Amino acid sequence: MKQYFISRNQKQYLANLHSHTNLSDGTLTPEEMKKAYKDRGYSILAITDHEHPANHSALSDPDFLMLTGYEVHVRVAPRFDLYAPEAHLNLFAKEPDNITMICYDSRYRRFFASDEEFAKIPRAGSERPREYSVSYINELIRTAVNNGYLVSYNHPVWSMEDESHILSYENIFSLEIDNYGSELSGNNEYSGALYDKMLRLGMRRFCHAGDDNHNGVPLDSPESDSFGAFTMILADSLTYPDVIRAMETGNMYASSGPLIHELSKEEDVIHIECSSAKKVILFDGGKTPRFIVAQPGESITSCDLRLRPTARYFRVAVIDENGGIASSRGFFPDEYETIQ
């Protein structure tokens, strides 16, 4: 019996889960951002302005969904330091009208136009000065989860945090495995090795990708930070509850180019169908992943890779000729061992 993790029968919605507008340090308005992504074939956009929760659901259409959220950051000191570590988290609201500010610290308030605008924002959690420590950041994450948010960890390479800190954060639902804005600036931001370490440690986390765009240059510039890394969300419908449910249960995958049309398992064979690829890798928690490489002048659109019976988990990566990578989430044995 074949078990499907990604099926051709599932609708895949193209999403950018990390973006900034002129409500924080971006240049486009929310309306301009929505138009730019809709014109490029996207179906979902999360505007995650820094320390500025806002409900943009009025911009949603039947064929385009706006997600409510914002980005929180904790630094060694509130002022930006080019060489110091900091933690950035995206908070995705499970209900579109949830704009609760979590663990407010006045030293991080920069982007509200007026006191009257700020006074309309509900707040939750401790309002003592933010502390760059694992215990404080875990408190912030826990408060966010308890107040209706899904919390992701953003751009680990750019953030320069010690890996031991990142692995100590609790209640993270997904790792931003690729961040295009950071990648564009020269960082090797694809964080597959970190994600595999999380999975080897038994952390049930998903992965996604986002642009983190601020649009400091025109959209058609080769230096534009838009339309480079995305998440395909496998939701039952393009509605807020179904999209959030798909994210919360890991029905999504990250990409900077390729698409995964099918990911299935029959006995010990993992079957992958994808857009044109040069290499497909099956990670299982061991030192020697299984892989297949296309012959010169050829490409891979379908392949089978055998899963070891000792696999700690499995996930696949599909790599295209431009170096773009599609990354599935990790699947653990109790999610597939019941299939005979």
Residue 314's CATH number: 2.60.40
Burial class (CB in 10 A: 0-12, 13-18, 19+), 206: buried
Amino acid in position 215? N
User: Does residue 309 form part of some domain?
Assistant: yes
> Residue 293: which of 281, 308, 282, 310 has the closest Cα?
281
Q: How many domains does the chain have?
A: 2
pLDDT at residue 66 greater than cutoff 60: yes
Question: Can you list the alpha helix ranges (DSSP code H) found in 188-236?
Answer: 192-200
197 and 261 in a single domain? The answer is no
CA 88, CA 170: separation in Å to the nearest integer?
14
Asked if the structure places residue 1 within a domain, the reply is: no
Mean pLDDT for the chain overall: 96
DSSP 10-66: S--EEEE--B--TTTT-SS-HHHHHHHHHHTT--EEEE--BT--B--GGG-BTTBEE
Look at residue 4 and tell me if it is in a domain.
Answer: no
Residue 97 lies in a domain: yes
One domain for residues 206 and 339:
no
pLDDT, average across residues 234-260: 98
The neighbour count for residue 142, using CB atoms within 10 Å, is 15
Domain carrying residue 210? 10-256
Strands 230-233 and 252-255, by their bridges, are antiparallel
Judgement on whether residues 286 and 250 belong to the same structural domain of the protein: no
Residues 48, 73 contacting (CB under 8 angstroms): no
Instruction: Let me know whether 244 and 263 are in one domain.
Output: no
pLDDT score of 113: 76
Q: Are residues 284 and 228 in the same domain?
A: no
- The answer to whether residues 313 and 329 belong to one domain is yes
| Same domain, residue pair 147 and 274 | no
Q: Are residues 234 and 280 in the same domain?
A: no
Question: What are the C-alpha distances in Å from 146 to residues 52, 108, 175?
Answer: 19, 22, 19
Residue 228 has pLDDT above 80, yes or no: yes
Last residue of a domain, one of 200, 231, 256: 256
294 Cα distance to chain centroid: 28
Q: By three-state DSSP, how is residue 165 classified?
A: helix
Q: Are residues 102 and 215 in the same domain?
A: yes
Last residue of a domain, one of 240, 256, 272: 256
Give a three-class secondary structure readout of 72-129: EEEECCCCCCCCCCEEEEEEEECCCCCCCEECCCHHHCCCCCCHHHHHCCCEECCCCC
Q: Report the length, in residues, of the chain.
A: 340
| 2 inside domain | no
* 5 found inside a domain: no
Quick one: tokens of 159?
A: 């953030």
Grade residue 110 by pLDDT with cuts at 50, 70 and 90. confident
Examine the domain organization and report whether 168 and 74 are in the same domain.
yes
Query: Are residues 330 and 211 part of one domain?
Result: no
Rounded to two decimals, what is the model's pTM? 0.96
Non-local (6+) Cβ contacts of 320 within 8 A are 257, 258, 275, 276, 277, 278
pLDDT of residue 337: 73
CA angle at 223 for the pair 16 and 175, rounded to the nearest 5°? 35
Residue that finishes a domain, picked among 236, 256, 276? 256
Q: What is the pLDDT of residues 241-251, one digit of tens each?
A: 999 999 999 99
The verdict on residue 3 lying in a domain is no
Confidence of residue 339 (pLDDT cuts 50, 70, 90): very low
Q: What is the chain's Cα-based Rg?
A: 20
